Structure 1
Amino acid sequence: MWREMRPDNRYEVPVGAHKVIAYSFGTGDDVILCLNGGPGLPCDYLRDAHSCMVDEGYRVVAFDQLGTGASDRPTDTSLWTIERYVEEVETVRQTLGLGKVHLLGHSWGGWLGIEYALTYPENLKTLILEDTVADIPHLVSELERLRSALGSETVAMMQKHEAEGTLDHPEYAAAITILNYRHVCRLPEWPAPVKRSLDDWNMGPYCTMQGPNEFLYTGNLKDWNRIADMGKLKMPVLITVGEHDELTPACALRMKMALKNAELHVLRNASHMPFYENPTDYYPVLTGFLNRHRSSR
């Protein structure tokens, strides 16, 4: 089960003209390299949910992506592209000498993980895609379906504010809050690592790449779709998704059907963060998959 742990090591990794901060827990040849969501979130919420995998004999590495957490925070919007982030991941892997890794991507980190896997497949033992998608246009249609459950008048209100650019209006913010508690994290009190990440959200990368909130995609990834290319991936893939996830089970199934060697688990009583919402079901799925594909004990 997850718990907050102090990292065994903290690294400064040069990435171009900047630096990112990486954290390492445990030892061993089997490395889980975590790519957290956002874009623009510090890695706290995903790092603290997975550092406990040291109990299973894994080394766990996470890092604050450029623009987040303790890493440098440049304001040059040209840096906020998925292609540049792929090279950032590869720089971290090489600099820390991680070798072939189990790459675990959550949400936006899953999009990044897919792009990395297609670019550097030889560097992966497995790919773990958590609460993520490979087809943003399909996701947008699913988000419209989730929004429609709020009722036609509420959806019309949201569309009006989106058209007028008044996304800070209290009634629009209230609708987003309801959706977040339904489809992002269904716990009445969100865990401390989640709060820390959200309180330190850099909206620069997020707005540039995704959009102003979790249910409106306007950024440079709004047309991103890698479904047609996923059949090229040969490594074992684990897909997990919460039954109430904003990145829905239908999105997860779309990935599974495109892959050659994948298993899919829908986790009950959970939305976008099953590792916090339903750890009893989540961790056995993750541990079982990793143990079937580990290279050392």
Structure 2
Amino acid sequence: MKNMAVAAGAKGRIPFREYRTWYRLTGTPGRGRPAVVVVHGGPGSTHDYLIGLSSLSEDGWPVVHYDQLGNGGSTHLPDAGADFWTVGLFLEELDNLLRHLGIADDYVLVGQSWGGMLAARHAADRPAGLRGLVIANSPASYPLWRQEMEVLRAALPPGVDATLRAHEAAGTTHTEEYAEAVRVFNDRHVCRVRPLPPAYVASVMETANDPTVYHTMNGPSEFHVVGTLKDWSVEDRLPDIAVPTLVLSGRHDEATPVTVRPFRERIPDVRWEILEESSHMPHLEEPELFHATLVDFLKSLDDRRSDG
């Protein structure tokens, strides 16, 4: 990690176009292990719910968290139109972050949910400094995601899906009754820990405070995807990924095996692990197993570097 532009423990806001991207670096760069860059989900969430990954720094991997444009500590743009919020925008922001922090020549991406799709798309362009890729709880395409949401909705307790659909048809997804029905789904398929972990709640609140990106690109809920991403897929680019890849998902995940399987089938060098007691947040639901699995993968990258 030569020419690192920031010191250990740094955080701040870096310029991106005429805006700012918030970041935080945990650990000391330049000691032989690549930086682990954490790409959060949403789109329109924040880094908070993934902050536990900073513990990787204790084993020598510098960890970079950042808030994608539109939320958290980065520039908010509540008046930006749908044509502004594109996959290309967030790919450009990620590239800008890597360059600014001086880690573009030696890094690993850990993308969660939407962040995993974004990371996969980034990796498909074969950036020279990318050493490995982790795709956690991500679908390979939104059409597959929407297809599987129908299956999960049909299995909800009696009356819940009917309530959801009534509000979706009426355009009243902002109501408390809709929110209560959404929670039934989320309790099964998003985060099964009770009480909800504070880090997760922090990201949920940030998204609720400014839902611009989430509502524009996704929609009003995880399973009612009517935003600009509804037809987006990375399936056709997966064969272009040329680095070792770890795919993670939960047994009760809203990213069902049907949505995840294309990663295993199309990425040349890939392994897929399913965490049996988790849904969409295994890093919070089974943190010790998640951490151990991640560390094992990162150490395997060390071994490849030594062999090379």
Question: Which TM-score applies when normalising by structure 2?
Answer: 0.90
Post-superposition offset of 1:152:
6.2
Question: Is the 2:163–2:181 contact (alpha carbons within 8 Å) kept by the matching residues of 1?
Answer: no
Q: Structure 1's 92 and 132: CA in aligned 2 closer, same or farther, altered over 3 A?
A: same
Q: Which amino acid aligns with 2:84?
A: L
- Given that 1:184 and 1:272 are in contact with CA atoms closer than 8 Å, whether structure 2 keeps it comes out as yes
8 Å Cα contact 1:103-1:113 kept in structure 2: yes
Percent identity (aligned):
33
Whether contact under 8 Å (1:37, 1:106) holds in the other structure is yes
- The aligned amino acid for 1:20 is T
> How much has 1:102 moved relative to structure 2?
0.5
- 1:125 corresponds to: 131
Pair 1:43-2:47 in alignment: yes
Shift of 1:120: 4.6
- Could you tell which deviates more after superposition, 147-156 or 125-134? 147-156
Secondary structure in 2 matching 1:119 = coil
C-alpha deviation, 1:108, in angstroms: 1.1
Q: Does 1:32 align with 2:36?
A: yes
The corresponding residue for 1:263 is: 271
What do residues 247-296 of structure 1 show as CA deviations (whole Å, max 9, x unaligned)?
11222222111111100000011111101101132111100001000348
Contact 1:242 1:268 in 2 (8 A): yes
Does the alignment pair 1:166 with 2:172?
Answer: yes
Superposed CA deviations along residues 18-46 of structure 1, whole A, max 9, x for unmatched, are: 11111001123411001001111221111
- The residue type equivalent to 1:230 in the other structure is L
Q: In structure 1, how many angstroms separate the alpha carbons of the residues matched to 2:294 and 2:170?
A: 44
Identify unmatched segments of 5+ residues in structure 1: 1-6
1:68 is displaced (CA, Å) by 1.3
Tell me if structure 2 keeps the 8 A contact 1:242–1:249.
no
> Secondary structure of the residue that 1:168 maps to in structure 2?
coil
Question: 1:119, 1:80 → 2: CA distance?
Answer: 21
**What is the aligned counterpart of 1:249 among 239, 257, 269?**
257
Inter-CA distance 153–192: structure 2 relative to 1 (3 Å threshold): closer
Q: How many residues were matched structurally?
A: 289
Match of 2:194? Answer: 188
Report the AA paired with residue 123 of structure 1: G
Structure 2: 5+ residue stretches without partners:
1-7
Query: Is the deviation greater in 246-255 or in 141-150?
Result: 246-255
RMSD in angstroms over aligned alpha carbons? 1.6
Which of 65, 68, 89 matches 2:68? 65
SS at match of 1:143: helix
Q: Find the aligned partners of 2:266 and 2:141 in 1 and give their Cα distance.
A: 11
Residues 9 and 25, structure 2, Cα contact 8 Å, conserved in 1: yes
Q: Distance in 1 between matches of 2:284 and 2:237?
A: 31
